Copies of this chain bind each other. A is one copy, B any other.
Amino acid sequence: MVADKGKKPKIGEKIVEENAEQIDGELVLSIEKLQEVQDELEKINEEASDKVLEVEQKYNEVRKPVYDKRSDIIKSIPDFWLTAFLSHPVLSDLLSEEDQKIFKHLTSLEVEDCKDVKLGYSISFNFSPNPYFEDTKLTKTFTFLDEGTTKITATSIKWKEGMGVPNGVAHDHHDHKKKGNKRCHEEDSFFCWFSGTQQKDVMDEIHDEVAEIIREDLWTNPLTYFNNEADEEDGDEGDEEENGTDDSEEDDEDQEDDDEDEGN
């Protein structure tokens, strides 16, 4: 500690000063030791994080073939993902009338984490050939950047002539009015959500919410939602325990009609 230059230390002060120096020295030493311990803890914490990531990645690999198997089964269930979407309390609000028509062509949904789960994930929507757009696969990707933000990218949809209605934009492509950058309301339309890649605060939150719900909730167990919807339509089909009313005759007539539609 540097002595005050203006005055000569008296004996008493000198002793206090030396004591202070010694205490300071001990203090500095303790703080240095403490810093070493914190460095040690930081290493341990990083190792723990890495191990947890390893586990998550290992189980992602275990899940993959099971998801593939699931995907095959789902292909034999007509309108599975459309039904599941419409049964989800939040996602159902996302699908406009037009979206629902387009979703009749949705063959499968895929959620995939990056091999290194820290890096991000993607959600893909696979479509059969349809009158709306050329694409058969639309993917929205979330990349976690080092600085803590998320980069969002999405397939640029090749809408067919006259299409691209879902966001409310006039669909006459001969109309040369400028359509770029029109802010559609992502909560109104699936395709608005899908195509929204700008990172504005409010939109970020809503985007992330839909993506997180699809990834954590719908993708994890879509059958619970599909079953809800199916129960409402089928009456006593399949889930006989759950329906013991006298509606069976009416339900059967409805079921016949539904089956005729599904068997097309």
Contacts and interface: CB of A to CB of B under 8 A. Distances in A.
A260 B48 contact: no
- The binding surface of chain A is classed by DSSP as helix
Contacts of A256: 1, 4, 16-17, 20
A238 B30 contact: no
A228 interface: no
A24 B259 contact: yes
Contact of A59 (B48, B67, B70): B48
A16 B48 CA distance: 61
Interface string A4-28: 1100000000001101100110111
Interface stretch (A73-81, A151-159, A189-197): A73-81
A56 B66 contact: no
A2 B31 CA distance: 81
Contacts of A17: 256
A55 B54 CA distance: 10
Interface residues of A, number: 62
A51 B51 CA distance: 10
Nearest to A32: B238
Interface string A23-57: 11011101101110110111011011001100110
Interface of A: 1-5, 16-17, 19-20, 23-24, 26-28, 30-31, 33-35, 37-38, 40-42, 44-45, 47-48, 51-52, 55-56, 59, 62-63, 66-67, 69-70, 73-74, 76-78, 220-221, 223, 226-227, 230, 237-238, 248-249, 252-253, 255-256, 259-260, 262-263
Given A2-B249, A41-B221, 18 more contacts: A4-B252, A4-B256, A17-B256, A19-B259, A24-B255, A24-B259, A28-B238, A31-B230, A34-B70, A34-B74, A40-B66, A44-B66, A48-B55, A48-B59, A48-B62, A51-B55, A51-B59, A52-B55
A34 B223 contact: yes
Nearest to A17: B256
Contacts of A263: 16, 19-20, 23
